[in-house]
Structure 1
Amino acid sequence: MIDPCVKHFIQYLEAEKNASEHTISNYLIDIRQFCEIVWGEEATAPFKWKSADRFSARKFLVFFQKLEMAPTTTGRKLSALRSFYKFLLREEYVDQNPFSGLNLPKKGNYLPQILSVDEVGRLLDAPVQFDEQQTGSSNPKVKIWREYMVARDSAILEMLYSTGMRINELVQLPEESVDLLSGVARVRGKGKKERLCPLGAPATRTLMKNLELRENVWLLEGKKNVRSPVFLNKNGGPITARSIERMMKKYVLFCGLNAELTPHSLRHSFATHLLDAGADLRSVQELLGHASLSTTQIYTHVSVERLKEVYQLAHPRA
């Protein structure tokens, strides 16, 4: 049984805020955690939202601080509950918002993990080089799958770096949104906002090869769908974000790169490399799909930090 207040809140997010499934899912996770922390894991809907007070909100905050969770994550969870209670207050389900006035944890001077241009090149070449070191198989099915997997992994990494799209945007990308002739992908981002992402020549080539070899996998599985995913898993279905994370981790370790790098690091690298090469901040904002320019400005700080490193190494009186 879903709580009626939560159900109403979801309807509000969908109808008025045009929120994506991913955003709604995050809200539900945060609200469920609040219920478990305040009323216990055994508590069931409907919940006593009116009974929550400032101490309940503080208890929620302290719980994540004790876990030493990143301030950005804790802040997002607090913002989610503040928005939820703001809605409950508006709809007169409660008399007060216990999260109103509760200060968000201070964010550190976070700079995203990025790769150098040379490191990106090594990573993008990794699928082919990794496969060359593997023992061959005489099994036709295994050969067809391995050939496709190399093409798929190459295309995924190239697409992430070429477009700067988020990993969830990539896995949800329908084939009809990709125009290989004009080299553009139509991406639906946060808030269901659409934007056009240019495809570089290498990304276009690897994507074409992925689509060609995908047909062989479907012949093996015998399960081609009308709405076909661009990238397949080993069962012929759509690949998941988690699978892409595991795949990239494999190639990161193979290349001897920082083990903490993630698919999102390619998005960070995309933005930083564009700014390093002279792209203007507004254009990068559009390419990334950021609603606010201030979100994009973090990459200018990354570029400045890199300039400082070069200065310290090269200047005789640094």
Structure 2
Amino acid sequence: MEDEIQNYLHFLLVDRGLSKNTIKSYHQDLKQFKNELDKMKINSFKDVDQYTILEILKSFKENGKSRNTLIHFITTLRKFYQYLMQFDLIEDDPMVKVEMPKRASHLPEVLTNDEIDRLFAIPNTNDKYGIRDRTILEVMYATGLRVSELINLKIHDLHLEMGLIQTIGKGDKERIIPIGEVAIKWINYYLEKSRPLLLKKKKSSFLFLNAHGGGISRQSIWDKVKRYVSLAGIKKNITPHTLRHSFATHILENGADLRIVQELLGHSDISTTQIYTHISNQRLKKVYNDFHPRA
């Protein structure tokens, strides 16, 4: 079964041209699927039927996995079994009779302008790490970059004299993003005062570096944001992606067109971007209820 999984992942990379992050998420689901089959003493994907799948989903649900996690798992299995059918590796597709649960609808957290100011004031900008971290926060909020895009930024991706940066997003799609004066100021300050000290006479094309002079990791960004949020006394469930949500929500609230926001975020489908109009409407209702004398 492991060979079939690896062949499928290779197919996704070479034939479908999917990004490494997407393939990694499929691999995690399939590895989990195989582990469950091992527990059930099933050693071939041919021996899996709809009841096997339903039993695994029931176990996941009982163990507290979210509805959206289950949806991602089912989507992965559907595509995997379609592949197995396409290449005549199985005779029947068990996923045909497995229904997809409805996606749980929830609006992501968004930081207020005051919370942004409080969060950004936490890094100690008297040392090289604090300067780097403040710059990271400024760039994420100024551009709406995903963490994966941020950590892969290279020096040659910066076109600061034109107020632009370029990045490679999902599906390996390149996009050009405007960046504001405040973030540009912090990038230049970081390049002058902090990055040379982190580089330690090494060579690296990455913009943001760790303590050893190499590219900073996704987990490191996650940990830093969580720590700074805690120190700022912000009680919301904040992740690095919250800065992306806040970027999109705030520019929409200030009059940006939804299509422009779609381009800035790198969404292939505008329906993905429309969640931010719901966030804006929710925030408008809260302001109304808080401040209207007869609300």
Task: Tell me the TM-score normalised to structure 1 length.
Answer: 0.87
1:41–1:205 CA distance, 2 compared to 1 (3 A): farther
1:31-42 correspondence to structure 2 within 5 Å: 31-40=30-39
Q: Distance in 1 between matches of 2:58 and 2:41?
A: 21
Which of 63, 68, 80 matches 1:67? 63
Which of 265, 270, 287 matches 1:293? 270
1:51-73 CA distance string (max 9 Å, x none): 11101211232222112222112
How far has the Cα of 1:247 moved from its partner?
Answer: 0.8
Q: Distance in 1 between matches of 2:174 and 2:205?
A: 20
The residue number in structure 1 matching 2:174 is 194
The residue number in structure 2 matching 1:149 is 129
The residue number in structure 1 matching 2:15 is 16
1:32–1:62 CA distance, 2 compared to 1 (3 A): same
How far has the Cα of 1:148 moved from its partner?
Answer: 1.3
Which stretch shows the higher mean deviation, 295-304 or 181-190? 181-190
The residue number in structure 2 matching 1:143 is none
The residue number in structure 2 matching 1:124 is 120
How far has the Cα of 1:316 moved from its partner?
Answer: 3.4
Q: Secondary structure at the match of 2:107?
A: coil
Mind listing any 5+ residue stretches in structure 1 that lack a counterpart? Answer: 132-145
1:43-58 correspondence to structure 2 within 5 Å: 48-58=44-54
Q: Distance in 2 between matches of 1:102 and 1:55?
A: 9
Which of 168, 178, 190 matches 2:158? 178
Task: Tell me the TM-score normalised to structure 2 length.
Answer: 0.94
Q: Distance in 2 between matches of 1:179 and 1:93?
A: 50
Q: Distance in 1 between matches of 2:286 and 2:16?
A: 43
Q: Distance in 2 between matches of 1:177 and 1:34?
A: 39
| Count, aligned residues | 294
1:179–1:41 CA distance, 2 compared to 1 (3 A): farther
The residue number in structure 2 matching 1:112 is 108
How far has the Cα of 1:181 moved from its partner?
Answer: 1.4
1:56-95 correspondence to structure 2 within 5 Å: 56-95=52-91
Q: Secondary structure at the match of 1:103?
A: coil
Task: Read off the aligned partner of 2:114 and give its amino acid letter.
Answer: D
Q: Distance in 1 between matches of 2:5 and 2:259?
A: 37
Q: Distance in 1 between matches of 2:188 and 2:89?
A: 53
Q: Distance in 1 between matches of 2:241 and 2:266?
A: 14
Q: Distance in 1 between matches of 2:267 and 2:52?
A: 33
1:208–1:34 CA distance, 2 compared to 1 (3 A): same
1:124-171 CA distance string (max 9 Å, x none): 22213xx6xxxxxxxxxxxxxx72111110111011101101111111
How far has the Cα of 1:244 moved from its partner?
Answer: 0.9
The residue number in structure 2 matching 1:241 is 218
Q: Distance in 1 between matches of 2:52 and 2:27?
A: 18
Q: Distance in 2 between matches of 1:66 and 1:252?
A: 32
Superposition RMSD in Å: 1.9
- Structure 1 stretches of at least 4 aligned residues deviating more than 3 Å after TM superposition: none
Q: Distance in 2 between matches of 1:237 and 1:290?
A: 29
The residue number in structure 2 matching 1:29 is 28
Which of 211, 231, 236 matches 1:254? 231
Q: Secondary structure at the match of 2:177?
A: strand
How many percent of aligned residue pairs carry the same amino acid? 38
How far has the Cα of 1:42 moved from its partner?
Answer: 8.9
Q: Is the 8 A contact 1:82 1:99 kept in 2?
A: yes
Task: Read off the aligned partner of 1:311 and give its amino acid letter.
Answer: Y
Q: Is the 8 A contact 1:37 1:59 kept in 2?
A: no
1:74-117 CA distance string (max 9 Å, x none): 21111111111111111111112212242222233301011011
Mind listing any 5+ residue stretches in structure 2 that lack a counterpart? Answer: none
1:276–1:87 CA distance, 2 compared to 1 (3 A): same
